Structure 1
Amino acid sequence: MNSYTPLTPAAVAERVARGETNVVEHRTSRTLGEIVRANVFTRINLIYSILFLMILGTGYLIDGVFALLIVVNSVVGMVQEIRAKRTLDRLALLNRAPAQVLRSEGVVEVDAEEIVLDDIVQVGAGDQIPVDGEIVETLGLEVDESLLTGESEPVVGEVGALVMSGSFVAAGSAKLRATAVGEHAYASRLAREASSFRKPTSQLRQGIDRILVYVTWALIPVGILTIFNQIVVNDQSWPDAIRGLVAALVPMVPEGLVLMTSIAMAVGVIRLGRRQCLVQDLPAIEQLARVDVVCTDKTGTLTEDGMRVRAIDTPDADAGLVARVLATFGAAEGKPNASMTAILDAVDADPIETTANDRVLFRPQMGGRRHRPRRDVGARRT
């Protein structure tokens, strides 16, 4: 007798109304508003904005052309970061694989975000576990938790054990009762911590900001002396005095240094983009220039999510019987993996009517690997 009860449509609707779904905010970087604020509200833009407002008060708008540097200085950084954000948002969609859920009307395929609390989720070899769950039924389940714990050895899951979202099914299949979904799932908590934005360190920008701090303090006495000279000594009117003040202060601001630094970084980003390299923030160019050794580890490759059978060789055997035997193997699987699914699509035969008294999971022993059953799969964390 099964120790679980599939949810009815009414129960699913009730949980959706309570917000107990697997919806997770996919945030790959800063929001659009944060990007705009970070590039617009800078020290040098603040200095030029104050000087531009002073010019506006005089009515001589032509003297405020220098304010265009505010636009250029802001746009250079924003364009690149927004472009990188959009690319990453599109890439994030590739990982949203559908899931098979057992409900009162039978097995249904839904998006991972449509899984609700207490749903019975079916997983098989090669699947990524979309929610935290308790195993309620298993057929030789082995879970690869290397993404969560760093352990490369698969762990055998038993009925009643807990598995965490983000881990993969290395072998076998199982049914899980969702115990934590959405933002409460373990993988979501990890992703939220990892995706928190940390402003990259740039020695060039730190040096420029330090110069701007000194310039800002120098502008105050220079401005006072200039306005005193314009009004008291030269007896100029206030509009002319303000124009002279701005004309004296604008060259003191090292806008050329800031602009040329941003342009140089932007050129580096463009050159990397031609080599199919995506840069999220301009200072990454500077960080890359300071790298002496790059260590990489190939753990996989991007391939099509599916397999196809090109041919089935049946020497000295009845091809029809072989097809039916293969179909029987597939029928015995609770959730066929990618290989078995491809075989079933290729054979297109009726399974042999048999009654299985027992099923033995094929498990290749490689390198003396041991399989350790554990009641709490995923309980040990680093």
Structure 2
Amino acid sequence: MDDLTGLTAAEVAKRQAQGQSNRQVNESHRTYREIFLENLFTFINGVFAFISVILLGLGRPGDVIAIVLVVFLNAIISIVQEIRAKRQLDAISVLTRPRVKVRRDRHNQVIDPAEVVVGDIVLLEPGDQVVADGTVVGSGSIHVDESLLTGESDLIPKQAGDRLYSGSFCVRGAAAYVAEQVGSASTAQQLTAAAKTHHRKLTPLQQEINLIIRVILALAIFLWLLVLLSLLVRLTTLPMSVQTAAVVAGLVPVGLYLTITLTYALGAIRISRADVLVQQVNAIESLSSIDILCLDKTGTLTANTLELHSIHLLAHAPANTQQQLATLAASVSAPNRTVTALCEALGGTPAPYAAKFPFLQLISGVPRHGMRAALIF
């Protein structure tokens, strides 16, 4: 890969000025202002505000204070939960933001992934992450793990002309690729943006409560009109009419609305202790309706790391086999995750070697499934 020239410093500066860098927008789509407005100006809060005006006109400020407390307590619970979810979503990123090696002016440079621009030649070795979408160039070949993107743990071979997607990892080999889609145009960023997309939907219980409140409100308005008509035709006195109107206002179930909100909040708090992100408190109701929970295989649910559990030697293995294995692992110049796990567990010392050969050359002719079995130490 030494024959690759890469971009010049002037070309890099020009493309950075044109906004063609790999910088990511980490904030979620919703702003704090939108969260406040969506939780304060709702249909239910509008109904309670209307009732509060009626009660103020009837000289019942005590009832108004109770309604206002319910409305603001409900809004505060929802706002706090959604702000917490927003901050966690802002931190979500498929990419782990490691340092990357690029080829510029015929020299290798180690830079931050945010500094990669369109057209950069990015170099990959085992353990490196693809930070931008692009195409493999040069004579190198690699095997990549795309499980973060596709859910499939099979290693995918890549060579010159093949497509690479950000969020995947190089597991074997060495190659270079040209960064073509960076920043928000990359696959990893599009997946992150999809995770941050917000959709406000009412649960069946909330829809039923809204319907009940609409019906009760319509009934209350009808009764208020009857009270006003009775007052106008002098069938009732003013104090009696005011008292009747206040009783009618109490028909709207303010306490029921608060009870539902508190139940949602308590459920969100309990489930958050298990490191579960709840974007909206009403998601608890949806979760309670689940009968069957379907999960993908564990390869995409666990950390992308390996840990050595135990070593089982063959019957006639030399006594120093474990020491030789430790030395072999420590001497590998481009370790993969298996070799890294061996080094961490065995702590071998690097030793000089006469030559090295790709593993595939040592087992040429072995079927694909045989190669996988041969990789087990």
TM-score (norm 1): 0.74
By how many angstroms is 1:177 displaced? 0.9
Q: Please name the residue that 2:311 is paired with.
A: none
Q: Which amino acid aligns with 2:34?
A: E
- Alpha-carbon distance between aligned partners in 2 of 1:73 and 1:246, rounded to the nearest angstrom: 26
* Greater RCO, CA 8 A, separation 6+: 1
- Alpha-carbon distance between aligned partners in 2 of 1:54 and 1:256, rounded to the nearest angstrom: 18
Residues 21/306 of structure 1: CA separation in 2 closer, same or farther (3 Å cut): farther
| SS of corresponding position for 1:221 | helix
**CA displacement, residues 18-66 of structure 1 (integer Å, 9 cap, x when unaligned):** 1101123235674433332332222110112233345667887555312
By how many angstroms is 1:135 displaced? 0.9
Q: Please name the residue that 2:358 is paired with.
A: 360
| SS of corresponding position for 1:265 | helix
1:48-87 matches, within 5 Å, as 48-53=48-53, 62=62, 64-65=64-65, 66-87=67-88
By how many angstroms is 1:170 displaced? 3.1
Kept in 1, the 8 Å contact 2:120–2:178? The answer is: yes
| SS of corresponding position for 1:292 | coil
- Alpha-carbon distance between aligned partners in 2 of 1:136 and 1:22, rounded to the nearest angstrom: 20
- Alpha-carbon distance between aligned partners in 2 of 1:299 and 1:323, rounded to the nearest angstrom: 29
| SS of corresponding position for 2:369 | coil
1:157-172 matches, within 5 Å, as 157-172=158-173
Residues 209/324 of structure 1: CA separation in 2 closer, same or farther (3 Å cut): closer
Residues 100/224 of structure 1: CA separation in 2 closer, same or farther (3 Å cut): farther
- Alpha-carbon distance between aligned partners in 1 of 2:180 and 2:125, rounded to the nearest angstrom: 19
Q: Please name the residue that 2:246 is paired with.
A: 247
Q: Please name the residue that 1:373 is paired with.
A: none
> Which blocks of at least 5 consecutive residues in structure 1 are unaligned?
309-313, 371-382
Q: Which amino acid aligns with 2:211?
A: R
Q: Please name the residue that 2:112 is paired with.
A: 111
Q: Which amino acid aligns with 1:282?
A: V
| SS of corresponding position for 1:52 | helix
**CA displacement, residues 184-214 of structure 1 (integer Å, 9 cap, x when unaligned):** 2233334434542233552211211221232
Kept in 2, the 8 Å contact 1:202–1:283? The answer is: yes
- Alpha-carbon distance between aligned partners in 2 of 1:201 and 1:208, rounded to the nearest angstrom: 10
Residues 56/118 of structure 1: CA separation in 2 closer, same or farther (3 Å cut): farther
By how many angstroms is 1:276 displaced? 4.2
| SS of corresponding position for 1:165 | coil
Kept in 2, the 8 Å contact 1:44–1:255? The answer is: no
- Alpha-carbon distance between aligned partners in 2 of 1:307 and 1:9, rounded to the nearest angstrom: 42
1:1-382 matches, within 5 Å, as 4-26=4-26, 30-53=30-53, 62=62, 64-65=64-65, 66-90=67-91, 92=93, 95-104=96-105, 106-149=107-150, 151-200=152-201, 202-230=203-231, 233=234, 236=238, 247-296=246-295, 297-299=297-299, 329-330=332-333, 333=334, 337=336, 339=339, 360-362=358-360, 367-368=369-370
Kept in 2, the 8 Å contact 1:51–1:246? The answer is: no
- Alpha-carbon distance between aligned partners in 2 of 1:40 and 1:246, rounded to the nearest angstrom: 26
- Alpha-carbon distance between aligned partners in 2 of 1:246 and 1:115, rounded to the nearest angstrom: 69
- Alpha-carbon distance between aligned partners in 1 of 2:93 and 2:319, rounded to the nearest angstrom: 46
Residues 276/185 of structure 1: CA separation in 2 closer, same or farther (3 Å cut): closer
By how many angstroms is 1:366 displaced? 5.7
By how many angstroms is 1:104 displaced? 2.7
TM-score (norm 2): 0.75
Kept in 1, the 8 Å contact 2:104–2:120? The answer is: yes
